[in-house]
Structure 1
Amino acid sequence: MSAPAEGTFAALRQELQDAATAFADGPDALEGILLGIVDDVDRAVREPLEIFPVCHHSPASAIAMARRLREKQPKVVYLELCEDMAPLLTELRNCTLPVAVQSFASEIDGFPAEWAPLSVVAPVTEASAEYQAIAYALDTPGVELVLVDRSSDHVFQWEPPAGGPAEPADPDAPAADGDTALHGEAVGVDIGDLRPRFAELEEHLLRHGRVRHWSEWWHQYVELPLGDADHDTYRQVMLLIGSLFRRLAPGDPRRVRVDEDRERYMWTRMREHLASTGTDPEDCLYVCGAFHAASRVAEFGVDGADGFVIAPPSGTTWQHGLIPSSHAAIEAQFGLAGGSVSIAATVWAKNLKRTGVAPFRLAGQGGAAKSAGRTARKAVAAAAARTAAPASAADTAGDAAAADKLSGFLRRPPVLDRLDEAELLGWSVDVVHAARRNGYLASTADAIAVFETSILLAGLRDRAKPTPYDFQDAAVTCIEKDTVPGRRDVRRIVEIMMGGDRIGRVGYDALPPLARDVHDRLAPLGLPLERRGVQRALLDIAGRPELGPCSDVLWMLRHLMPHGAARPIMGERRLGERSLQESWDLALGTHQRALIELGYEGVSIEQVLEQRLRRKAYGPQATAATVLEAVEEAELYLGSRRLADELGIRALEVLSAERSVDGAPEVLRRVRRLLAYYRTSMPVLPGWVESFVATAYAHYCTLLPVAFADEDAGVRHVAAMLGFLFGMEGLALSLGCDRTQLELAVAQSHPEDPGKTALLWAAHVQLGTLTRADLRERCDGLLGNPLVLPAYPRYLSGFVHALEPVPGLADFVVEAVSNAFGRLPDPVLLPWLPSLIGTLRAGGADLAPLIIREAGRTFPGRLADLDTWVPPWRRPGADEPLVFGRPVAGPGTGGLALLADHPATCDAVAGLLGCDGAWQAAGPPAHPADVLLTRHPDTAAELAVLFAAV
């Protein structure tokens, strides 16, 4: 393109100045804006290094870019994209668009820890000018592609996420769920972002354009007019729009500073490259957003001022890769209307057929159209013919006179496209068919109504040809009416019909090493794991042992990836247990982004899992329960005794530093499980387990009086502490702990809460300092005291929780609950029932079976026996604990009779206790058991304690 003359826009300047004087109160403000816009366009057009302004995912920009690249054939292409993303662009040829180039950092240095992880994405679609420039530069020999925008690190240096969004989201934008969340929480690089930042201006444009949202306005008033425009017209109009939006943007100092710093950064990088390579600016092309093309910074241009200092990057290590994207994800992240990117893809395909422009496409690009090669060959031949033909004098004169294309474009009335009845009729028939498949009662009459309503809406909006948005509104009005019978509404049906939400895929060769390793290790399953959707995998590990490693990989993926990526249907994995057959639902293709981001953390899933377990154990919020969970996962998924021992020592350190009992229930549950596993799989317990039990025994003994008195400590937490102390007492005593410490801790506890009081009574019973008769007497006293009666259900809840440390009280809990149902008044009993159910549900895995089993043993099994049934606690000898329905200890001869009935059992127990002797008869009145107990009183006492514990 020839350089425009000095007075290129003189006529346009004079016209705008006259308009400002005529329509404004004074010429100063409006004249400054209008003439400033012309100055911005003039300055950009005069720049020796050609500036090519674009809009994000605009078919008009893509067509103009492809046409200009074939005409100019630049040797260097400068692209507004994070400079550290350059090495990934060559991998686009192994992907199916749309995909996004991503920079990811999980471990950060130089930023606040709460920002982690950091993620920046730049989505790429085929209908974008950026992709055309990338494909041209990478597949054309001798052409260099240079990314000149700030690095991913500078994105967060200049725009911290704590600052919030720069502008409100579009109300018509889709919600970020499903496929719209493919980008996660990443910060989007808005290449070619072009949207008014002045809310009143956007509202004015939408109202006078008779459109609902910005995407529709852009389609109607920019895309369609510029779709067939020549290069000069396209370029000057885009510069005009960019300058207008820039000058009318609100004066947010932070946003203005970031925009200007980005422009200084890009021009500094371009001048550095030109100086180092000696490239002629005439052989270069600068592709950037129209908003940045109309820049007024001093560093603008190849002859701009120097002196902008680029800050050094932080110490954060960035990982780069490609992740799948989708039209819906792009719309959600950049605030576009739902379906706008799909409509842009459809317009792009139509423009290619209409104009004959051959798009650039990376060699080997996935998802290539069948006719792309033929179209490219035709366009190249046409371009060669135009180049070979000599330029006529008329053409040369036309180039000189056509430098100012803005004046003609602004004066030209809108071109009214001819109504394409065949196209509109096809849309109407297709949408009715699609609606009927989705449950709508649509008919031919509805197709006719959609056809006519589309024309009517276009006429009301001053359009001769209905746009896809007009057709969408007409379809909603005529078909959907007031109900949506199926999963999709009519608006979504139209979006799918217009091209759908195209979802990209990253090819195997472009995946990080971890993702490729996962695919290789799951290859024995024989499933196309790269496909989207759910696939069922059946693993007969007993019949095919080679599937065992696949099972290990799947269980680790289930732990590391989002829910639904790997979901077990049959089979489970517990400590010491492995399933012989498993069934899985796999959706690795749908969750490809999560699998790729795992590759940023390590080279294998074992390494990533070990890093995450260490991070969980050594994190600032780590508790003893979470560290024990990490120990269990290390044994379960990795089988790493070394890592388990290291994390176990860490659990001991964390427990010693804790001063609350919030994690006691989880600690108890996991310690029990780990003890059972180690006792069955190892000859001796690991050293850290013994140290943990001994330390926890002393630790909980110290905290027990405080927990009983603390209002913030719940009954469940205190019950878990007692459960640990009583359940681990044997092991703790064998490791050198002193039982006196527990007795003193219980004696020093003085709770005020009724539930904790019941727990304390249960602890005294377990220690032998309180008999069952005394406990029953206390409960009867509570039921007989009208002042305490409303609080009695809380005592019962405490007794239910007491089954955790003292499971032998199950029969007494059944007795207490039965007495409550019989004696409590309804105003007290009925409000307590929900809390009883909630208590049983919270501890249902352990507590409810004890109560149900004991109740089944206590109550009669038939209704006819109920009239003659006497509760066991009202029978003679009810104060004695029962074993198999018989009293085993207490006053009288009940215990002696039991011993006499089973002399072999008595001899075996006596041998275990180290007692020797024989049965002797002491006279006719004496029973042999009485003689034995008389000779060995210590044995009798130990035996009574043993039976009481059972």
Structure 2
Amino acid sequence: MSGTDESAFGALRGQLQEAAQAFADGPGALEGILLGIVDDVDRAVREPLEIFPVCHHSPASATAMARRLREKRPKVVYLELCEDMAPLLTELRNCRLPVAVQAFATETEGFPAEWAPLSVVAPITEASAEYQAIAYALDTPGVELVLVDRSSDHVYQWDERAPQAAAAADPDAPPAEEEAALHGDAVGVEIGDLRPRFAELEEHLLRHGRVRHWSEWWHQYVELPLGDSDHDTYRQVMLLIGSLFRRLAPGDEHRVRVDEDRERYMWTRMREHLTATGTDPADCLYVCGAFHAASRVAEFGVRGADTFEIGPRTATKWQHGLIPSSHAAIEAQFGLAAGSVSIAATVWAKNLRRTKVQPFRLAGQNGAKSGRATKAVAAAAQAAQDPTGSVASSGESGAAADRLSGFLRRPPVLDPLDEAELLGWSVEIVRAARRNGYLASTADAIAVFETSILLAGMRDRAKPTPYDFQDAAVTCIEKDSVPGRRDVRRLVEIMMGGDRIGQVGYDALPPLARDVHDRLKPLALRLEQRGVQRALLDIASRPELERCSDVLWMLRRLLPQGAARPIMGERRLGERSIQESWDLALGTHQRALIELGYEGISIEQVLEQRLRRTAYAPRATTATVLETVEDATLYLRSRRLADELGARALETLAAERSVDGAPEVLRRVRRLLAFYRTSEPVLPPWIERFVKTGYAHYCTLLPTAFTDEDAGVRQVAAMLGFLFSMESLALSLGCDRTQLELAVAQSHPEDPPKTALLWAARTQLGHLTRADLRARCDELLDNPLVVPAYPRYLSGFVQALEPVPGLTDFVVEAVSNAFARLPDPVLLPWLPTLITTLRDGGGELAPLLIREAGRIFPGRLTALDAWVPPWREAPDPGVPASARRAEAGRGVALLAAHPAACDAVAGLLGCDGAWETAAAGPRGAALVDRHPDTATALAVLLAAG
């Protein structure tokens, strides 16, 4: 390029200057922009180190790259890609494209914590210039591939805002499916990104080009004209477009600074490499986006200024790997129209057939159809070692002629209509529509055919493009509604090539992912295959499958929903399934499995790290920490980790001042206690301390929770449930029951549900009898001012079944009394409130009420009229008092015959002392006089025994 004639673009400068004067009434800003564009192109063409401008996933760029590599055969290829991703590129041969090179960091140092996890991806497709350069460099002996773009760490260092996903795709595009989320929220490395940043310019191009979105404009006015152009024309046109978009970009200072710093970074790295190796710039090729090729920074070129200082990286530890990608994921991440990457793959195949260019392909690439491309690469490698076989290009042999003037003056080439191709499209889309529920027919195929031609003519095109055909198909087939999951637009995208989804091969997987595949080999499934597969585990007959079961349960805990879903079998504390059935989709969720490999070398290690991270998080609650204890016991069977996390739960409980998590704490502590009592000889020390601390903790918070409006009745009921159900263990550990009695005595709620809950608690403590509780409910029903709030009292009684399950029959009695005593004008208005209150506040406790009601109420409708509720049963008036006293006397004689039983009962009732003389009668007589019903019941039990 050094021999380029300085006047090569002189004629073009003159023409643009005349045009600027004619359209802008004299020289000015327009002239400066137009002549500046020519200067940018001239400067890039004159650079001794050949600059090859590309566009992201452009078939024209890929074709031109393959052709240029075979002509020039450079010894060094500089590529605009994060320099820390270089070691991964050799693993591309073990994958099926498209895949993405990823840098991933879960723990950040030097970045805001809310940015984590950090992820940078660079998707690679076969129809891209980057892949052609990578394949050539890796499979050609003596060729070095050097990545020169900023590191993944610098990507986030230079981002002053929170990392966000790329711009939204075309608004007319269908909703993204699961493949569109393969890259997650990663920041994309926009290799060769080429799109106007000046909104008015893009709108102008779309309107005058009669297209709907940018992808269609690029396909029509750049891809097709440059598909079979020569090298110099391609370079100059791409440099022209890049310079135009750069000069018309809005003045976003941050984005301009980042773009220029990237260019300074890349040229600094290239000069460092040239100086260190002594390579001749003429033997090198610099592959970058057209936007960066037309750079005006002082560091541009091999003779540029060495004034840019590259800052150090942060202490963040980055993990690198390959993840599966897809056409839809690339479109979603980079804001392309849906289906544009699939159409680009189709155009790439057509370009190869038309131009006869041999593409480069990595040797052993997964999915290769034949060894033809590999042989071509070997031939190119042999030619590269033979200096006499060099093929000179116009840029290397002398002056590069001005190709822009001819290209800009040339009228658009109108491709002739390929009726066979369009007819095949029309027939195929009708067939696909019928398979998806549309009532399409041959007439619709004809309509799509004719409408495609009509739309192309209206848009000044002789040959309908895939986008014209897509619009025609939607117009003629979709009608009013979409009968299936896919609309016609999506069906056209699938027909044009579909959403190809890449796959990372076994050898390119991280150690964790390979370990998972190895441990699941006994299942005899193709785990790398996409879609859902059913796995049947008969652990009873094949005990070795229990290890597979352990792996699957951990994957279910770590991977997104759907990756491993149990159909039959469950894992609970103290239980193990003897048969299990699973739906596995590890191939579909390969990206998530690979990212697990960035966190550790085994799933056990990753799970342990995540449990610790959850337990020691600043906002961890007692309930979440207890969940980690349960998971450590359930999945890892690690007593050591469970004890450590249990101690953390004790610390969290002591520091909590809220009772929001009380229901979850109660549920998990009960479950852990039941497990340890059945599987361990003694309780772990941490859970004993937890019960003791929790007893004192909830006693302290109980009076405040009863009056706090933010504390719900369910939370207060859970606190009482903890206190009453753990009372025996807490008292055995040294707690004082007086503390609970004082807490209840100091509670004075005003809310009806909490008031009913307090009554239930006092009943449990013996401060209220059933008769007192029944009397209070009767007073509520007798007071017309309180009747509307009675459902809320019932809600409190229902919640009281958690701490005081013995009140189940009383709650049934309270509800039954309301229905029996209230008249319909009073009952019917608050009946909906009662139903919604019971459903929202006590849905999980309703089975207790239903079971108790089924026990109390008669089983047949005919028996209902003569049925008397047990709470209304009175002593039989036909039995005289003397008979009842005689019955009690028999009880006295029975007690005298069994003095030991009498002593035990007396001790329970609080009566101490010795037996009296025979004349005075035994002490049991006094007890019988005070408690005749108890004596009678005891006599019946002893007689039955």
TM bucket normalised to smaller = over 0.9
Partner residue in 2 for 1:819: 817
Partner residue in 2 for 1:797: 795
Classify the secondary structure of the residue corresponding to 1:698.
helix
Partner residue in 2 for 1:296: 296
Deviation at 1:445, TM superposition (A): 2.1
- CA distance, structure 2, for counterparts of residue 899 and residue 131 of structure 1: 101
- CA distance, structure 2, for counterparts of residue 893 and residue 109 of structure 1: 87
Partner residue in 2 for 1:416: 414
Deviation at 1:484, TM superposition (A): 1.9
Which one of 861, 864, 882 corresponds to residue 862 of structure 2?
Answer: 864
Which one of 475, 478, 490 corresponds to residue 477 of structure 1?
Answer: 475
Partner residue in 1 for 2:154: 154
Deviation at 1:69, TM superposition (A): 0.5
* Distance change (3 Å), C-alpha of 1:139 and 1:903: farther
Partner residue in 1 for 2:735: 737
- CA distance, structure 2, for counterparts of residue 455 and residue 147 of structure 1: 46
- CA distance, structure 2, for counterparts of residue 263 and residue 519 of structure 1: 43
- CA distance, structure 1, for counterparts of residue 290 and residue 546 of structure 2: 56
Deviation at 1:173, TM superposition (A): 4.8
User: Following superposition of structure 1 onto structure 2, how do residues 66-145 of structure 1 map, counting pairs within 5 Å?
Assistant: 66-145=66-145
Partner residue in 1 for 2:880: none
* Cα offsets for 1:430-476 (capped at 9, x unmatched): 12222222222222222222222111111111111111111111111
- CA distance, structure 2, for counterparts of residue 896 and residue 844 of structure 1: 49
Q: Is the 8 A contact 1:534 1:587 kept in 2?
A: yes
* Distance change (3 Å), C-alpha of 1:191 and 1:938: farther
Q: Is the 8 A contact 1:172 1:213 kept in 2?
A: no
Q: Is the 8 A contact 2:540 2:578 kept in 1?
A: yes
- CA distance, structure 1, for counterparts of residue 889 and residue 683 of structure 2: 40
Deviation at 1:76, TM superposition (A): 0.6
- CA distance, structure 2, for counterparts of residue 805 and residue 901 of structure 1: 37
Partner residue in 2 for 1:886: none
Partner residue in 1 for 2:503: 505
Partner residue in 2 for 1:721: 719
Which one of 851, 855, 879 corresponds to residue 853 of structure 1?
Answer: 851
Which one of 541, 545, 548 corresponds to residue 550 of structure 1?
Answer: 548
* Distance change (3 Å), C-alpha of 1:439 and 1:165: closer
Partner residue in 1 for 2:346: 346
Classify the secondary structure of the residue corresponding to 1:119.
strand
Deviation at 1:380, TM superposition (A): 5.6
Partner residue in 1 for 2:879: none
Q: Is the 8 A contact 2:120 2:187 kept in 1?
A: yes
Classify the secondary structure of the residue corresponding to 1:52.
strand
* Cα offsets for 1:870-925 (capped at 9, x unmatched): 111211279xxxxxxxxxxxx999999999999999978977999999xx99999x
* Distance change (3 Å), C-alpha of 1:716 and 1:59: same
Deviation at 1:822, TM superposition (A): 2.9
Classify the secondary structure of the residue corresponding to 2:759.
helix
Classify the secondary structure of the residue corresponding to 1:770.
coil
Deviation at 1:814, TM superposition (A): 0.4
Classify the secondary structure of the residue corresponding to 2:470.
helix
Number of aligned pairs? 927
Q: TM-score, normalised by structure 1?
A: 0.92
Matched, 1:7 2:15: no
Matched, 1:320 2:320: yes
* Distance change (3 Å), C-alpha of 1:340 and 1:383: farther
* Cα offsets for 1:579-638 (capped at 9, x unmatched): 000000000000000000000111000000001110111001101111111100110000
- CA distance, structure 2, for counterparts of residue 404 and residue 72 of structure 1: 20
User: Following superposition of structure 1 onto structure 2, how do residues 274-313 of structure 1 map, counting pairs within 5 Å?
Assistant: 274-313=274-313
* Cα offsets for 1:519-546 (capped at 9, x unmatched): 0000000000000000000000000001
Classify the secondary structure of the residue corresponding to 2:336.
coil
Partner residue in 2 for 1:439: 437
Q: Is the 8 A contact 1:52 1:235 kept in 2?
A: yes
- CA distance, structure 1, for counterparts of residue 43 and residue 476 of structure 2: 51
Q: Is the 8 A contact 1:265 1:308 kept in 2?
A: yes
* Distance change (3 Å), C-alpha of 1:396 and 1:481: closer
- CA distance, structure 2, for counterparts of residue 398 and residue 807 of structure 1: 92
* Distance change (3 Å), C-alpha of 1:909 and 1:739: farther
Aligned AA (2:559): M
Matched, 1:489 2:487: yes
Partner residue in 2 for 1:60: 60
* Cα offsets for 1:614-672 (capped at 9, x unmatched): 01110011011111111001100000000000000100000000001001000100010
Partner residue in 2 for 1:884: none
User: Following superposition of structure 1 onto structure 2, how do residues 347-386 of structure 1 map, counting pairs within 5 Å?
Assistant: 347-370=347-370, 372-373=372-373, 376=376
Aligned AA (1:719): A
Partner residue in 1 for 2:881: none
Q: Structure 2 stretches of 5 or more lacking a match? A: 877-883
Partner residue in 2 for 1:269: 269
Classify the secondary structure of the residue corresponding to 2:162.
helix
User: Following superposition of structure 1 onto structure 2, how do residues 214-233 of structure 1 map, counting pairs within 5 Å?
Assistant: 214-233=214-233
Classify the secondary structure of the residue corresponding to 1:219.
helix
Which one of 561, 564, 567 corresponds to residue 565 of structure 2?
Answer: 567
Deviation at 1:292, TM superposition (A): 0.4
- CA distance, structure 2, for counterparts of residue 680 and residue 567 of structure 1: 29
Identity %: 78
Q: Is the 8 A contact 1:80 1:147 kept in 2?
A: yes
Aligned AA (1:221): Y
Partner residue in 2 for 1:693: 691
Partner residue in 1 for 2:22: 22
> Pairwise CA RMSD of aligned residues?
3.3
Deviation at 1:401, TM superposition (A): 6.8
Deviation at 1:486, TM superposition (A): 2.0
Aligned AA (2:456): A
Classify the secondary structure of the residue corresponding to 1:577.
coil
Aligned AA (1:97): L
Q: Which moved more, 1:826-835 or 1:758-767?
A: 826-835
Deviation at 1:569, TM superposition (A): 0.2
* Cα offsets for 1:729-749 (capped at 9, x unmatched): 000000000000000000000
Deviation at 1:766, TM superposition (A): 0.5
- CA distance, structure 1, for counterparts of residue 888 and residue 32 of structure 2: 108
* Cα offsets for 1:174-220 (capped at 9, x unmatched): 54441100001101110000000011100000000010000000000
- CA distance, structure 2, for counterparts of residue 13 and residue 27 of structure 1: 13
* Cα offsets for 1:551-603 (capped at 9, x unmatched): 00000000100000000000000000000000000000000000000001110
- CA distance, structure 2, for counterparts of residue 45 and residue 402 of structure 1: 8
Q: Is the 8 A contact 1:793 1:829 kept in 2?
A: no
Q: Structure 1 stretches of 5 or more lacking a match? A: 879-890
Partner residue in 1 for 2:330: 330
- CA distance, structure 2, for counterparts of residue 896 and residue 363 of structure 1: 104
Partner residue in 2 for 1:887: none
Q: Is the 8 A contact 2:394 2:400 kept in 1?
A: no
Partner residue in 2 for 1:762: 760
Aligned AA (2:549): S
Deviation at 1:823, TM superposition (A): 3.5
Deviation at 1:682, TM superposition (A): 0.5
Partner residue in 2 for 1:519: 517
Partner residue in 1 for 2:39: 39
Classify the secondary structure of the residue corresponding to 1:746.
helix
Classify the secondary structure of the residue corresponding to 2:68.
helix
* Cα offsets for 1:286-341 (capped at 9, x unmatched): 00000000001111111111121111111111000000000000000000001000
- CA distance, structure 1, for counterparts of residue 626 and residue 888 of structure 2: 44
Deviation at 1:421, TM superposition (A): 1.4
Q: Is the 8 A contact 1:514 1:598 kept in 2?
A: yes
Which one of 595, 601, 604 corresponds to residue 593 of structure 2?
Answer: 595
Classify the secondary structure of the residue corresponding to 2:362.
coil
Q: Is the 8 A contact 2:232 2:394 kept in 1?
A: no
Classify the secondary structure of the residue corresponding to 2:413.
coil
Q: Is the 8 A contact 2:45 2:51 kept in 1?
A: yes
* Distance change (3 Å), C-alpha of 1:785 and 1:906: farther
Q: Is the 8 A contact 1:138 1:145 kept in 2?
A: yes
Matched, 1:204 2:204: yes
Deviation at 1:707, TM superposition (A): 0.4
Matched, 1:183 2:168: no
